[in-house]
Amino acid sequence: QVQLVESGGGLVQAGGSLRLSCAASGRTFSSYYMCWFRQAPGKEREFVGAITRNGGSTYYTDSVKGRFTISRDNAKNMVYLQMNSLKPEDTAVYYCAARDYRLGYSSRRADFGSWGQGTQVTVSS
């Protein structure tokens, strides 16, 4: 299992930007398909986006397309979530998650076995 630690959350005004980081331990980071999820108060944890193990492809939920960008640096064992044009409805705890690429693509929370502790993002109106 890979160990994950998120950082970079905070309070930002609507229209602003934040960059979240997720640091992964282990020597096999490049074997993992990485995702970002988020959970708002009283709501289910939802898929935000994903990046393939070599960074060649990314996927996003419709509500963040054109505003959020996922990237990774396998040499540093890092994955990032650049969030622009933030809206109050983006307020949530954001989590990174890892899935062995051999298991295939998934955006289902239950299919991810490795999670970080989360980082709070609050967008004020």
pLDDT tens-place string over residues 49-65: 999 999 999 999 999 99
Helix runs in the chain, H state only = none
Say yes or no to pLDDT of 66 above 90.
yes
Decide if 86 contacts 14 (C-beta within 8 A).
Answer: yes
Residue 80 token pair = 């990032």
Confidence of residue 23 (pLDDT cuts 50, 70, 90): very high
Confidence of residue 26 (pLDDT cuts 50, 70, 90): confident
More confident residue, 37 or 26: 37
Residue 121 token pair = 């993002």
Q: Tokens 């933030």 identify what position?
A: 86
- Mean per-residue pLDDT, 30-56: 95
Burial category of 17 from C-beta neighbours within 10 Å (exposed 0-12, middle 13-18, buried 19 and up): exposed
* Residue 102 phi, psi (nearest 5): -70, -15
Burial category of 101 from C-beta neighbours within 10 Å (exposed 0-12, middle 13-18, buried 19 and up): middle
Q: How far apart, in whole angstroms, are the C-alpha atoms of residue 45 and residue 30?
A: 25
